[in-house]
Structures are given as structure tokens and as C-alpha cells.
């Protein structure tokens, strides 16, 4: 168990160097900050597996690596399978006394939404079901951004991408996003959560919580994308915050099957406030019917969370 | 003490992995490989093998987990067949490219459609160019021995090895197999201790992006490692013989000394051919068998040496490269091409989809080879037309 779950900014600043400078992430991309928070949140040595994607490709251009920790990339659809092999190797070597028994190691897999919601869903499901001791971090930028902005099953309704273009007949993506956190929670794993880099203290607490638990854990983090969403570079954290304040991206956790919403906006903003600054939604700003449909979906998902949250563990009743 | 046990080819794979003290097994069941993973599960469950068995949800994940485990410094093992091997394809390139000495048994099975579970070599030969070494074996003892031998060679050149055996003819057929004393195996095969591994505190990266200014050299080094492995197969195969009494080389020569005619075979067709050749020898025919064992790296020099001065060579392929010829036929031809007085080479395709290849079939092939005047690239044997 971690000493305490929260860290203040001063403590955090001392804990990690994060990614080394010189990586090729776009200006304004929030995931270097997300990585820094996650690595900083860990008390024990960390080993990382990374699915193919922006994060992988911009941080490890041979012969350099921006990662201050051991790191393995093994294709797109299999970060969870790969980390399960790494974790099993350490278990086997520990049992044989080939590595010291007092050494605690944390295994973290990073994947984007394409590598997690879509092509990597099977391998993630398998690894969680087998109960490997690892944290899977999904950084969700709501599309295949590394290949140049294509729709994924995480892309929101009506969003323009290069494969769900805002056309004259079809106004962007015709389906709502899949609820991956719910799918993961259905595996009855010890801990799953949603977080946002705008709420860094909540994010760090969740990472520390996840790393303190034995078994598979999962955190889905919204990661706004400057070129993919179409907004000025300085607005990434602002957009992540708007996603939370509009209830588009609820901050919640599922611990041993019990739901808890960690932040309930006192005066929630309408979803249009989140959509408005983004070029991917500009074609629907004069389509109140489509904006209404997004609002309806957001409200429905929120209501469902409130309902799920009503079931409390025995001791809290 | 070593002892003999009656084992199927599949169980010989499992015992080979046990004697090699594999540390992580990651596998998915598929006919006709399933008994391999069943017995390994039992060996782990009963404590005979101190390993972690990762019961993955697909072959793609099986190889992915082997890659993670091997990169983390564990000796990793898996086994599969046909459709499963094809699903692994992307990760086969990855294991070789990442220079991880993983060993895998592949049970040769015909690819679908039509659906088939019987033996044919197109599954493994479709993976020929992934950077895996490949050994084709003939008996259950050779299966067990070559799992151990494979780790010894793989861990020196940092390339993975596929040990390939025929579906049912070997996988489900029982033969007496010597199971060696563990101490002797340990003497031959030291623990896996790679030069580089993912270990906490050492921030190395596996699987980075290499631009055109660096990628090329990685490929060159794989080829050099393959070339170095050729000598190792001879050297370690000889050492294996000194310790365990069974020596292995790149190829196996059978009654070749004075032979004018050579049949080139692989896998269990070799055993059938040996019976045929004995009968032909009784009739005074000067014929021998060259069994190809190690197919990657390809033993060019060895083949030129042993086939030089022969009257004719007939290559028997239980595989086909559609639009081309039998695959081993192509390869033997390419090996002999630089020779000044190369023997003519004839290509026989037989036994696809597990159709039985009998002693009489081999005798027919020999008789056909002897009388044929002009080279034919594909001579079909046993196809119903």
C-alpha cells in the first residue's frame, strides 16, 4: 500500500524527471505531462510496455529514448499481452531467485484509444481476465491520430475525422463512442477509473491507488489532441477541463465493483462549451439537432453513473 | 539417470521444454498441437517444471507474451500449428527483429480452406522469411533433442528457432524416447542470461523507431547471425552427440557414400524413404537419401559438397509455392546453381493435406527419377487427376 494516495505539487516536482526533452510530441500535446504524472506517482521501479501510436513513435527514435524507465514496444494490438509476458518473466525469475525478492516492480502498459478500444481490446481483455499484476493506462485522444486522424470507436458522435468526414450528406461520425471503462469494469477487476490531466491531483491519486492494488488495474485518461481536435496549442488542459465540467468525461472510479463519481460539477456546463473550441465539431455548430443528440447521450451516461453509484459497499450503508 | 519413455511427438516437445528449464510458456491450444500445452500445464501444475504458464487468448498474444518474457530475461517457449502460426505472423517478424531467442514447436498442418488438420509444410514455409531458424525433424527423439539444441544455438546468436514436426505422423505417434538426466542437460545448456534485458533501473528501450539511416544495419546483422548459426549447428550438434550419444548436423546423409541418385527429403517422409532405399539397395540400386534438417539458415556449402558428383537429384516436397514449384526444390536448385558440374535436379510434389506417402511411392519416385531424361520442375506424385 502506498504511504498516502495524494501528492502535492511540491512533492510531485521532486519525484520524477518525466520524459526527457527532445521527444517529438506536437506542441501542446498533453501526454508528456500525463506520463510525468504517472511515473511521478509511482513509489516503486516501473517497467513500461507501449502500444504503437503517437506516444511510442515520438518518444523512442533510435538510438534515443525519452523514457527514464525500461520500456518495450511490441506492435499495436498487444501491449497488454506483452506486459503480461514481462510480468510473468519477473514472477518466474523471482521464484528462481534470479532477481532479489525484496524488489517491488510495477508494470504499466500505455495504449491510445485505437490500440485499446479497437485493435487491442482482445489482448487487454485476456490480460485482465488472467489477473496479471499491471496497470493499463489508456490515453484517449478519440481517434487514430498517429496515422493522421481517423475515426476509432472512441471518436464522439458527429466528430469530423478523415474517415468520418463532415460531408454534404453525412455530418461526421454516425455512432456514439463506445464506453470502454464500462467494458473493462465488466471484467470484475479490482480497480478501474477515468481521469483527466486537468484534475492532476485526482489523476495522481488514482494512479497511486491502482499501483497499490494487487492484480490488473485500468485508468482511462482523456488526452486532447491539438491537430486531431483542432484547437490552439495552449488549450489542451483547458479542453480536458471542459470535458469534465460538461460531464462529457466523468471522473469516476470502480473499486471492487463499486462505482464512485469523484467530481460532480456544481454548475455543469452544456456540452456545446466543450464542442465549440474544436474544429472537428465546427460543422455542427449550426445543427442544434446534432448538438442536442450529443447532450442527450452525455446526460444519459451521467444518469447511468449516478444510478450505478447508488450501490454502496456494506460498511458505507 | 536417463530413462526411456514411450512418448508421442507432442509429449516429446513438452519434455524437451521441461529439460530446457523454460521459464515462461505462453500458448494457445490448436489441433494437432494441443497435447504439447496440456502436458506442459501438468508439468507446471505438478511442480516438475518451475515455470509460469500464461494461458493467453490467442496465438498472437502467445508470441507477444513470449516476446515480453524473453526481453525481460526469461527463457520463453510456445507451440502452435497452421492457422495459429499464421495468426502469429506479425509477431514472428518481431521476435526475430528484436533478436529474442524464443523456441517454438510448430506441428506442420495444412492451411485452410478446405479445412484440414493433417500434415503439410506450407504453414511453416510461409514463415520462412521472418528471421526464424527452422529445423525439420523426423522422430520423437529428434523432437526432444532439438528443443534443447535450439535453445543452445538461439541464445548464442540471438535469433528464435522453430522446431517443425509432422501432424499426426509424428505429433500423435508414440515411440520410445530417451529422457536425459537433468544434470547432463544443464551441463549442455547453461541458464539464459542475455546481454541486454528489460530490468528496472536500466532505462533501455526495446522496439524503437529506426529511420532509413539505421534500419538497414539491423537487417544485415540478422543475416550475419544466421550465417554464424550454420557453424554452431555443426559444433553444438557434435557436442550434443558427445554428451547424449546422438549427433546432429545441418543435414543427415543416409546410404549416400556411393550413391549416384539422391532423394532429398524432410521430416517423416525420410523414414518412409529409408525403408524404400533399403529395398532398392537390395536390388543393387545406387541410391541414397539426403535429409534436410536445418532449413534456415540454409546449408548451401554443405549441400554443394554432398551433392557434387551425383548423377541425379530428386527433391520430394510436401509443400508448394503456388505459381512456382516445390519450395525445397527451388532452394536446392539455387544452392547448386554456382557449381560447374551440378547434377540435374527434379522436383516431386506429394502428400499435400496429409495424403499418405508410402514406401511404394518413394520407389516409384526413384524409378521415375532414374529414367527421366529432361528436367521437369513439378512432377506430381499421388494427385488424383
ipTM metric: 0.95
pLDDT digits (tens, 9 = 90+) for A9-57: 888 888 877 899 999 999 999 999 999 999 999 999 999 999 999 999 9
Does residue A1 form part of some domain? no
Q: Which residues of A touch B67 (CB under 8 A)?
A: 74, 82, 85
Are A89 and B76 a contacting pair at CB < 8 A?
yes
Q: Residue A2 pLDDT > 50, yes or no?
A: no
Local structure of B348: helix, strand or coil = strand
Q: Which residues of B touch A187 (CB under 8 A)?
A: none
Chain A: closest CA distance from residue B204 (Å): 5
User: What is the DSSP secondary-structure string of A13-48?
Assistant: HHH---SPTT--PPTT-SHHHHHHHHHHH-SS-EEE
Does residue A258 form part of some domain? yes
**Predicted local confidence at residue B42, as pLDDT:** 98
pLDDT digits (tens, 9 = 90+) for B163-181: 999 999 999 999 999 999 9
What mean pLDDT is reported for chain B? 97
Question: Which percentage of chain A shows pLDDT scores above 70?
Answer: 98
Does residue A229 form part of some domain? yes
User: What is the DSSP secondary-structure string of B53-121?
Assistant: EE--SSHHHHHHHHHHHHHTT--EEEEEEHHHHHHHHHHHHHHHHTT---EEEEEE-PPSSSP--S--S
Does residue A261 form part of some domain? yes
The answer to whether residue B47 neighbours chain A at the CB level (below 8 Å) is no
Does residue A179 form part of some domain? yes
**Predicted local confidence at residue A1, as pLDDT:** 45
Quick count: other Cβ atoms within 10 Å of Cβ B197?
18
**Predicted local confidence at residue A317, as pLDDT:** 61
A238: CATH: 3.40.50.970
Does residue A308 form part of some domain? yes
E-state strands within chain B: 3-8, 24-26, 52-54, 76-81, 103-108, 133-136, 161-166, 174-179, 205-206, 251-254, 261-265, 287-292, 294-296, 312-317, 345-350, 379-381
Does residue A3 form part of some domain? no
* Beta-carbon pairs below 8 A across chains A and B: 167
Are A85 and B214 a contacting pair at CB < 8 A?
no
Domain count, chain A: 1
Chain A: closest CA distance from residue B61 (Å): 5
CA dihedral sign, ordered A64, A65, A71, A74: negative
Q: Which domains does chain B have, with CATH numbers?
A: 3-244 (3.40.50.970), 251-380 (3.40.50.920)
Are B54 and A130 a contacting pair at CB < 8 A?
yes
Cα B77 to Cα B58: distance, rounded to the nearest angstrom: 15
Are A61 and B208 a contacting pair at CB < 8 A?
yes
Q: Which residue of B has its CA nearest to A65?
A: B205
pLDDT tier, A100 (very low <50, low <70, confident <90, very high otherwise): confident
pLDDT digits (tens, 9 = 90+) for A144-198: 999 999 999 999 999 999 999 999 999 999 999 999 999 999 999 999 999 999 9
Per the structure, the complete domain to which residue A30 belongs is given by 9-316
Q: Residue B343 pLDDT > 90, yes or no?
A: yes
Q: What residues contact A70, with CB distance under 8 A and at least 6 apart?
A: A47, A48, B198, B199, B200, B201, B202, B203, B204, B205
Does residue A140 form part of some domain? yes
Instruction: Name the residue among A85, A95, A99 with its Cβ closest to that of B50.
Output: A95
The answer to whether residue B64 neighbours chain A at the CB level (below 8 Å) is yes
Q: Which residues of A touch B22 (CB under 8 A)?
A: none
Instruction: Name the residue among A89, A126, A127 with its Cβ closest to that of B74.
Output: A89
Amino acid at each position: 500500500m502506498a504511504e498516502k494516495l495524494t501528492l502535492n505539487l511540491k512533492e510531485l516536482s521532486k519525484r520524477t524527471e518525466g520524459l526527457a526533452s527532445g521527444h517529438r510530441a506536437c506542441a501542446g500535446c498533453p501526454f508528456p505531462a500525463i506520463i510525468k504524472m504517472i511515473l511521478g506517482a509511482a513509489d516503486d521501479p516501473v517497467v513500461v510496455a507501449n502500444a504503437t501510436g503517437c506516444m511510442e513513435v515520438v518518444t523512442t527514435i533510435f538510438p534515443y529514448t525519452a523514457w527514464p524507465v525500461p520500456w518495450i514496444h511490441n506492435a499495436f494490438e498487444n501491449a497488454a499481452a506483452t506486459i503480461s509476458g514481462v510480468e510473468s518473466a519477473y514472477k518466474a525469475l523471482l521464484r528462481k531467485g534470479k532477481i532479489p525478492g525484496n524488489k517491488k516492480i510495477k508494470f504499466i502498459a500505455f495504449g491510445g484509444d485505437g490500440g485499446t478500444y479497437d485493435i487491442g481490446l482482445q489482448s487487454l481483455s485476456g490480460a485482465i481476465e488472467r489477473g496479471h499484476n499491471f496497470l493499463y493506462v489508456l490515453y484517449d485522444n478519440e481517434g487514430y491520430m498517429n496515422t493522421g486522424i481517423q475515426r476509432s470507436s472512441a471518436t464522439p458522435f458527429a466528430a469530423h475525422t478523415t474517415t468520418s468526414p463532415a460531408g454534404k450528406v453525412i455530418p461526421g461520425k454516425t455512432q456514439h463512442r463506445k464506453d470502454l471503462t464500462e467494458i473493462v469494469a465488466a471484467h470484475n477487476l479490482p480497480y478501474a477509473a477515468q481521469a483527466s490531466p486537468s484534475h492532476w491531483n485526482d489523476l495522481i491519486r488514482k494512479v497511486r491507488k491502482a499501483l497499490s492494488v494487487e492484480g490488473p488495474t485500468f485508468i482511462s485518461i482523456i488526452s486532447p489532441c491539438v491537430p486531431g481536435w483542432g484547437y490552439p496549442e495552449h488549450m489542451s488542459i483547458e479542453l480536458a477541463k471542459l470535458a469534465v465540467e460538461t460531464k462529457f468525461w466523468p471522473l469516476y472510479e470502480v473499486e471492487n465493483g463499486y462505482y464512485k463519481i469523484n467530481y460532480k460539477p456544481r454548475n455543469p456546463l452544456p456540452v456545446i462549451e466543450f464542442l465549440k473550441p474544436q474544429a472537428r465539431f465546427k460543422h455542427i455548430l449550426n445543427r442544434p439537432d446534432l448538438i442536442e443528440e450529443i447532450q442527450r447521450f452525455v446526460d444519459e451516461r451521467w444518469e447511468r453513473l449516478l444510478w450505478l453509484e447508488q450501490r454502496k459497499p456494506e460498511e458505507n450503508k | 539417470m536417463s530413462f526411456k519413455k514411450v512418448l508421442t511427438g507432442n509429449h516429446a516437445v513438452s519434455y524437451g521444454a521441461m529439460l530446457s528449464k523454460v521459464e515462461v510458456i505462453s500458448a494457445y491450444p490448436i489441433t494437432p498441437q494441443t497435447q504439447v500445452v496440456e502436458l506442459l500445464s501438468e508439468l507446471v501444475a505438478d511442480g516438475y517444471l518451475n515455470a509460469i504458464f500464461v494461458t493467453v487468448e490467442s496465438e498472437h498474444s502467445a508470441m507477444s507474451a513470449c516476446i515480453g518474457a524473453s526481453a525481460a530475461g526469461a527463457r520463453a517457449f510456445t507451440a502452435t500449428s497452421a492457422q495459429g502460426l499464421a495468426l502469429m505472423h506479425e509477431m514472428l517478424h518481431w521476435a526475430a527483429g528484436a533478436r529474442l531467442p524464443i523456441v517454438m514447436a510448430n506441428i506442420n498442418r495444412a492451411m485452410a480452406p478446405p479445412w484440414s488438420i493433417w500434415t503439410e509444410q506450407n504453414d511453416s514455409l510461409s514463415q520462412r522469411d521472418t528471421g526464424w531458424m527452422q529445423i525439420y525433424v523426423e522422430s520423437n527423439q529428434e523432437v526432444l533433442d532439438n528443443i534443447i539444441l535450439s535453445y543452445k544455438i538461439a541464445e548464442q546468436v540471438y535469433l528464435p528457432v522453430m522446431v517443425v514436426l509432422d501432424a499426426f505422423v509424428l505429433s500423435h505417434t508414440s515411440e520410445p524416447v530417451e529422457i536425459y538426466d537433468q544434470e547432463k542437460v544443464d551441463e549442455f545448456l547453461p541458464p539464459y542470461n542475455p546481454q541486454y534485458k528489460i530490468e528496472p533501473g536500466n532505462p533501455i528501450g526495446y522496439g524503437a523507431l529506426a529511420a532509413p539511416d539505421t534500419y538497414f544495419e539491423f537487417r544485415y546483422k540478422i543475416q550475419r547471425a544466421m550465417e554464424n548459426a550454420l557453424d554452431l549447428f555443426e559444433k553444438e550438434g557434435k557436442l550434443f552427440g558427445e554428451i547424449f550419444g546422438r549427433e546432429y548436423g545441418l543435414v543427415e546423409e543416409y546410404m549416400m557414400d556411393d550413391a549416384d541418385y539422391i532423394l532429398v527429403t524432410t521430416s517423416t517422409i525420410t523414414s518412409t524413404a529409408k525403408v524404400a532405399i533399403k529395398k532398392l539397395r537390395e536390388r543393387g540400386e545406387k541410391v541414397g537419401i539426403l535429409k534436410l534438417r536445418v532449413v534456415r539458415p540454409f546449408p548451401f556449402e554443405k549441400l554443394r559438397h554432398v551433392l557434387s558428383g551425383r548423377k541425379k537429384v530428386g527433391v520430394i516436397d510436401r509443400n508448394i509455392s503456388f505459381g512456382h514449384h516445390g519450395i525445397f526444390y527451388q532452394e536446392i536448385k539455387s544452392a547448386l546453381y554456382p557449381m560447374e558440374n551440378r547434377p540435374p535436379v527434379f522436383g516431386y510434389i506429394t502428400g499435400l493435406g496429409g495424403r499418405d506417402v508410402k514406401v511404394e511411392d518413394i520407389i516409384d519416385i526413384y524409378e521415375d527419377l532414374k529414367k527421366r531424361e529432361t528436367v521437369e520442375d513439378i512432377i506430381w506424385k499421388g494427385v488424383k487427376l
